[in-house]
A and B are shown apart, each in its own frame.
Chain A
């Protein structure tokens, strides 16, 4: 069990640029979640996949955000035309639905938009 990994760990970008983050879940896990955490807040749900199907998107996920999990393994989260308000920690988690509700988180990607 190698845990959930995320890449990159840190990203600094200029406003208006596009960024893409990658998440590799625990290998046998069929659910994958994206959350966003800002300073002083708990993580907030963005979207989740069961295998390759994206089953729910939060209203926090504006049209500039898109997530994919093309083969039911790793996932990418892309933010287009970044804004300063997008600066946050982006967290990925995975779970095996047959084993219950526990989600295991990766180390996160810290995004700073200048």
Chain B
């Protein structure tokens, strides 16, 4: 039972263009969403998050959009850089403040071509 789904296993974009990484969830109790970036043999690095009370959050080149009615979120990276090449995980948590264990998707491998 995959509650967080990242259906596209990989994405390749040209340097300087926009990268759009998608994520869907099924559990309507999820109220906090995060994106992590992971390089091989390292732990996930936090990128950006969004609470369910918002529909957009921006931090530099990274913007996360949340569509609660569609149970869908996306991460936009503009402009994409070769150093952005990594695996990106979408994660969600429920019951804000009470139990914040994260449920992760399987990840998307982003390749940014110079």
Contacts and interface: CB of A to CB of B under 8 A. Distances in A.
Interface in A70-114: 91, 93, 95, 97, 100-108, 110
Interface of B: 4, 32, 34, 36, 41-46, 49, 89, 91, 93, 96-97, 99-107
A55 B99 contact: yes
A43 interface: yes
B15 to A, nearest CB: 27
A107 B45 CA distance: 9
B100 A103 contact: yes
Given A40-B106, A45-B103, 6 more contacts: A43-B102, A45-B101, A48-B101, A100-B32, A102-B46, A105-B46
B34 to A, nearest CB: 7
B101 A42 contact: no
A33 interface: yes
B108 to A, nearest CB: 10
Interface residues of A, number: 28
A103 B102 contact: yes
A101 B94 CA distance: 10
A5 B42 CA distance: 11
Given A102-B49, A105-B36, A43 B99 contact: no
Contacts of A45: 101-103
Q: Which 7 A-B pairs have the closest CB atoms?
A: A42-B104, A105-B43, A45-B101, A101-B32, A101-B100, A105-B44, A107-B43
A57 B81 CA distance: 39
Contacts of B107: 42
Q: In the complex, which of the residues A31, A43, A55, A100 has the most CB atoms of chain B within 10 Å of its own CB atom? A: A43
Contacts of B103: 45
Contacts of A107: 41-43
B34 A108 contact: no
A91 B43 contact: yes
Contacts of A101: 32, 34, 49, 93, 96-97, 100
Interface string A6-24: 1000000000000000000
A47 B12 CA distance: 35
